[in-house]
Amino acid sequence: MTEPIRVLHFADVHIGMENYGRTDPRTGVSTRVLDFLRRMDEMIAYAREHDVDLAIFAGDAFKTRNPTPTFAREFAFRIQDLAELCPVVLLLGNHDLPAIERRASSIEIYETLRVPNVTLGANYELHEIATKRGPVVVGTAPYPMRHHLLHEEDMPHNRTIAEIDAKLEDALTDRLLQLTEEAAQYDMPRILTGHFSVSGAEFGSERSVMLGRDVTVLLSTLDSPVWDYVALGHIHQHQCLTLGRADAPPVIYSGSLERIDFGEEADRKGFVWAEIERGRTDWRFIEVDCRPFVTLRVDVRGAGNPTHTVLDAIKKHDLREAVVRVIVTADPEADLLFQERDVFYALREADANHVAAIVRNVERPARLRLGTNPEGLTPDQLLERYLSSKEIPFERIEVLLDHARQLFEADTLD
């Protein structure tokens, strides 16, 4: 009797995310980029130690469709390390695909150079792959692009965007069902890997980095017992969509390897390790040591010394190597007494890796105005005051400020 195939499933490494980082003087690369690369190194070390048979990358290697040569090189080093251990399947995600038809994808070079032990999942097809513990068939379903799935006659000029999206979803479903029918002919472990959204999945911060509109597949299209494992990418939150079901294979998003922003503050990050044989799969989520994100919310309304109140809150938390933001709720009197610089220095002394923001949410009896002298305010503060003046809910302001800070930082780097 053959042993189960040992499979490493990971996705959404998004190399190139530089928010909340700084340039590392030794490498010249953002410290946040190094975070993502270290998570890959940690994962590869686990695969080596546990004698991996097959690695499946379910898409989105880089933050953008046009990664810098440095980012492409660092990703290639790690794929080479994996390929020395086992066959590797690289699936095309939406961040890997070119914006213009017929241009090369960011990971197509692996197929062009015929890199040993690497299979590119650029089309909806089956691949029979030999591993040291036996053969396995892998169905690849890259991110659904309209020009890959629809013919010109399917897209007359008078169709609405919603109608075209519905056509695209129908075409993707047909391709997936066709792959399922074809895979049923193979008497070996069967794996499907795809990069798209599935109905019922919980979304995370991928919404903030998503390129283009999204296509959703019904879970019933994927949960056929023909498959022994369904390895998904695209959604950053790890989840098994068929958990507890004996009549369906594990349909799993591995999630991203590293936190993108505060929207993923509480998310566990890692990869999936599965042991697969025909008709049976055991799997477990392996958590990695990713960068902590910490939000400190402190209410100083009515406090005699609001700065000390915030400093006391900082002392109660382990902020070592964390990306930290502080959200202070104050009344006008406390806000006048609050010393933001003291809080910033205290966070540095607590060994925080990066101070993302110190936000002051000031409750005023009257509608908030920017004031007569906005020159002394930072862009963060100006935007926060403007949004507050529009009476936007505080939780919504936090989300908008997070995205705005990424734009501010990108503008500074440019």
Which value, in Å, is the radius of gyration of the alpha carbons in the chain?
24
Give the list of residues 6+ apart from residue 315 with CB closer than 8 angstroms, or none. Answer: 350
Q: What is the mean pLDDT of residues 204-227?
A: 76
Give the list of residues 6+ apart from residue 405 with CB closer than 8 angstroms, or none. Answer: 19, 356, 357, 380
Model pLDDT, residue 306: 95
Q: Are residues 389 and 360 in the same domain?
A: yes
Q: Report the DSSP beta bridge partners of residue 191.
A: 138, 229
pTM: 0.82
Of residues 386 and 220, the one with the higher pLDDT is: 220
Q: Are residues 279 and 299 in the same domain?
A: no
Eight-state DSSP code of residue 65: S
Sign of the C-alpha dihedral computed for residues 310, 311, 315 and 317 taken in this order: positive
In this structure, which amino acid lies at residue 366?
A
Q: Is the per-residue pLDDT at 298 higher than 80?
A: yes
The range of the structural domain enclosing residue 236 comes to 5-287
Q: Are residues 165 and 237 in the same domain?
A: yes
Model pLDDT, residue 47: 98
Q: Is the per-residue pLDDT at 241 higher than 70?
A: yes
Range 24-57 burial, b when 16+ CB lie within 10 A, else e = eeeeebbbbbebbbbbbebbbebbeeeebbbbbb
Whole-angstrom distance, CA of residue 197 vs CA of residue 141: 12
Q: What is the mean pLDDT of the chain?
A: 87
Whole-angstrom distance, CA of residue 144 vs CA of residue 299: 47
Whole-angstrom distance, CA of residue 46 vs CA of residue 32: 22
Q: Are residues 267 and 344 in the same domain?
A: no
The owner of tokens 């030999």 is 130
CATH number at residue 104: 3.60.21.10
Whole-angstrom distance, CA of residue 301 vs CA of residue 332: 9
Whole-angstrom distance, CA of residue 86 vs CA of residue 55: 7
- The confidence band for 209, taking pLDDT boundaries of 50, 70 and 90, is very low
Lowest mean pLDDT among 18-32, 115-129, 250-264, 353-367: 353-367
Model pLDDT, residue 413: 47
Model pLDDT, residue 391: 65
Query: Roughly how many angstroms between the first and final C-alpha of the chain, as a whole number?
Result: 59
Q: Is the per-residue pLDDT at 10 higher than 80?
A: yes
Question: Which range among 122-136, 193-207, 358-372 has the greatest average pLDDT?
Answer: 122-136
Q: Is the per-residue pLDDT at 376 higher than 60?
A: no
Lowest mean pLDDT among 199-203, 213-217, 288-292, 406-410: 406-410
Model pLDDT, residue 399: 73
Eight-state DSSP code of residue 362: E
Give the number of domains in the chain. 2
Q: Is the per-residue pLDDT at 271 higher than 70?
A: yes
Residues 257, 10: contact at Cβ < 8 Å? yes
Give the list of residues 6+ apart from residue 352 with CB closer than 8 angstroms, or none. Answer: 319, 320, 321, 322, 323, 324
Biggest alpha carbon distance in the chain?
Answer: 80
Q: Are residues 258 and 383 in the same domain?
A: no
Q: Are residues 282 and 370 in the same domain?
A: no
Model pLDDT, residue 319: 96
Whole-angstrom distance, CA of residue 391 vs CA of residue 397: 10
pLDDT for 84-109, tens place per residue?
A: 999 999 999 887 776 656 666 778 88
- The confidence band for 372, taking pLDDT boundaries of 50, 70 and 90, is very low
Residues 84, 220: contact at Cβ < 8 Å? no
Of residues 156 and 17, the one with the higher pLDDT is: 17
pLDDT for 17-68, tens place per residue?
A: 888 988 888 988 999 999 999 999 999 999 999 999 999 999 999 988 888 9
Model pLDDT, residue 402: 75
Q: Are residues 283 and 297 in the same domain?
A: no
- The confidence band for 374, taking pLDDT boundaries of 50, 70 and 90, is low
Q: Are strands 134-141 and 125-131 parallel, antiparallel or unpaired?
A: antiparallel
Model pLDDT, residue 207: 52
Whole-angstrom distance, CA of residue 185 vs CA of residue 207: 37
Model pLDDT, residue 203: 81
Model pLDDT, residue 283: 98
Whole-angstrom distance, CA of residue 364 vs CA of residue 396: 18
Give the end of a domain, one of 267, 287, 307: 287
Give the end of a domain, one of 287, 303, 335: 287
Model pLDDT, residue 94: 85
Give the residue among 273, 217, 216 at the shortest CA–CA distance from 250: 273
Model pLDDT, residue 240: 97
Q: Are residues 283 and 299 in the same domain?
A: no
Eight-state DSSP code of residue 220: G
Q: Is the per-residue pLDDT at 208 higher than 50?
A: no
Give the residue among 56, 40, 92 at the shortest CA–CA distance from 273: 56
pLDDT for 312-368, tens place per residue?
A: 999 999 999 999 999 999 999 999 999 999 999 999 999 999 999 999 999 876 444
Whole-angstrom distance, CA of residue 54 vs CA of residue 7: 5
Distances (CA, A) of 200 to 235, 239, 251: 12, 11, 12
Q: Is the per-residue pLDDT at 111 higher than 80?
A: yes
Q: Are residues 382 and 339 in the same domain?
A: yes
Q: Are residues 351 and 397 in the same domain?
A: yes
Determine if residue 124 is left, alpha or beta; phi over 0 gives left, psi from -120 to 50 gives alpha, anything else beta: beta
Q: Is the per-residue pLDDT at 392 higher than 50?
A: yes
Give the end of a domain, one of 220, 252, 287: 287
Q: How many residues does the chain have?
A: 414
